[in-house]
Structure 1
């Protein structure tokens, strides 16, 4: 079980370079409760401009991960012709599950294939849903007993819009019962993270805000995560 409230971080594998990535991943285990390992892609279609750029900058992925529950985050579109390849990668890096943000948006007809592969590889299902989500779909996801359901607060990572996100968190909380809810996209301040937990999220994920700081200074990036963790507790 993931810790409640929990702090997760997203980082593209091998970014910003092998040395810094390896250094910071070793320290993340003492700071975060779970980790999203971004699988580099040429088309990170639901990511904001900063993370899109990071995907393009990775020449060789580095599959290190901290000693916390880790989830491989990749786009289903890249592996749809051979999804077993993605699950093999997740198993090789010791991931608990595979998170594919475009599965339920663009390829919902592949839901059963995803569930089947989770069972075959002994991985926990994890799901991403956008801010505007069908209630019946969310109830179906909760019935699949996932490790978590990830609620995307905005249209893309790192881009904040005038949307009442706490309301969406409260709605999904009512629909899924005790299923773990992760809130992410544009979580860039400790107070914002705390408000999401107060609204009903079990955990938050920080991506763009962490990566911006990491490019400047690993110490600054890790200190930022510690500030959020204090706010959550």
Structure 2
């Protein structure tokens, strides 16, 4: 039994979908990002997806690319990120924590050590956005040996054999991409073809399906769940909120009244955003279930 299993079981019992926000660890620095994570949990996040900064984030759009840069400039390395995660885990024992990290990091460290370090920090899953499922076997084997769920991306309009492979390889959840391209709110998500993909994934006895890429508004959460997804992941919209306060936090002396006021404003905005996105999972899941019962 994993934290994801417990989470999705509890959500199903309450007739809710999952809302999972993404933020970059170390953005704009290690101390502030910890406060950011706490605000997401306070806002009702069902689980967390936390990014590790990387110098060449090819799967990300400009908003999250800038978050990588800010985090790297703050000096956040992989093991610094793990220390943040470990502290979050100590405060939130039941919240599933996923890590999004580019494949060069586990490759450079060695797969066995990488996944063991992740497990030691309390990470439940690892998503490798630049590792296609056809190359996933050694990563999956090392992850499972360490007790970490490997997560892979189900591409938009993927062939059936690719969806089947993603379903077979993923644990915890499957990341279904809503459109072709990179992350970002510059282009809206699309649920065209998603219902068919979800049906195919479920027929392969897959893990629950989470929809990502371009999810920035409550109505998009509603659309994702109506199309059959078990939940939605929002990244660029969350990161954009952090970015809007980053410069002011850097300029204000730490501990000053101005700094504390800016940090409070950031936290309040994140709580409000997360609460609205989570509220959409109540309404849309209940509506979808009612339609199924009537049909």
Q: TM-score, normalized by length of structure 2?
A: 0.72
Match of 2:143 among 113, 118, 136: 118
The yes-or-no answer on 1:213 pairing with 2:241 is yes
Q: Which runs of 5+ in 1 are unaligned?
A: none
Q: 2:60 aligned with 1:33, yes or no? A: no
Shift in Å at residue 187 of structure 1?
0.7
In structure 1, how many angstroms separate the alpha carbons of the residues matched to 2:38 and 2:185? 28
The structure where helix makes up a greater share of residues is 2
RMSD: 2.0
Q: Distance in 1 between matches of 2:62 and 2:27?
A: 15
Structure 2 match to 1:148: 173
The whole-number CA distance in structure 2 between the counterparts of 1:83 and 1:167 is 36
Aligned pair 1:69/2:84, yes or no?
Answer: no
Shift of 1:88: 3.0
- Residue of 192, 195, 203 corresponding to 2:220: 192
CA offsets per residue over residues 106-154 of structure 1, 9 Å max, x none?
Answer: xx33x21022112210112211122132211211232346211101223
1:129 aligns to what?
154
The answer for the alignment partner of 2:127 in structure 1 is 99
Pick closer, same or farther for the CA change 1:133–1:86 going to 2, 3 Å.
farther
Cα distance change of structure 1 residues 94 and 162 upon mapping to structure 2, 3 Å threshold: closer
Contact map agreement 1:76 1:83 (CA 8 A) in 2? no
- Between 1:147-156 and 1:76-85, the stretch displaced more is 76-85
Kept in 1, the 8 Å contact 2:24–2:53? The answer is yes
- The offset of 1:206, in angstroms, is 0.9
Per-residue CA deviation, residues 26-75 of structure 1 (Å, 9 max, x unaligned), is 23333101111101100110001011011011123344244210111101
With normalisation by structure 1, the TM-score equals: 0.89
Aligned residues of 1:8 and 1:205 also touching (Cα < 8 A)? yes
The correspondence for 1:222, drawn from 262, 265, 271, is: 271
Alignment match, 2:262: none
**Counterparts in 2 of 1:11 and 1:138: CA distance versus 1, 3 Å:** same
Q: Which residue of 2 aligns with 1:18?
A: 30
Q: Which has more strand, going by share of residues?
A: 1
Give the conservation status (yes or no) of the 8 Å contact 1:214–1:220: no
In structure 1, C-alpha distance between the alignment counterparts of 2:170 and 2:64, rounded to whole Å: 30
CA shift digits 1:1-48 (9 cap, x unpaired): 133410101111111223321212223333101111101100110001
- Which protein is bigger by CA-based radius of gyration? 2
Shift of 1:87: 1.3
Deviation of 1:159 after TM superposition, in Å, equals 4.2
Conserved? CA contact 2:19–2:278, under 8 Å: yes
Q: Does residue 180 of structure 1 match 2:208?
A: yes
The total of aligned residue pairs comes to 229
Structure-2 residue corresponding to 1:8: 20
**DSSP 3-state at the match of 1:60:** coil
SS state at 1:71 partner: strand
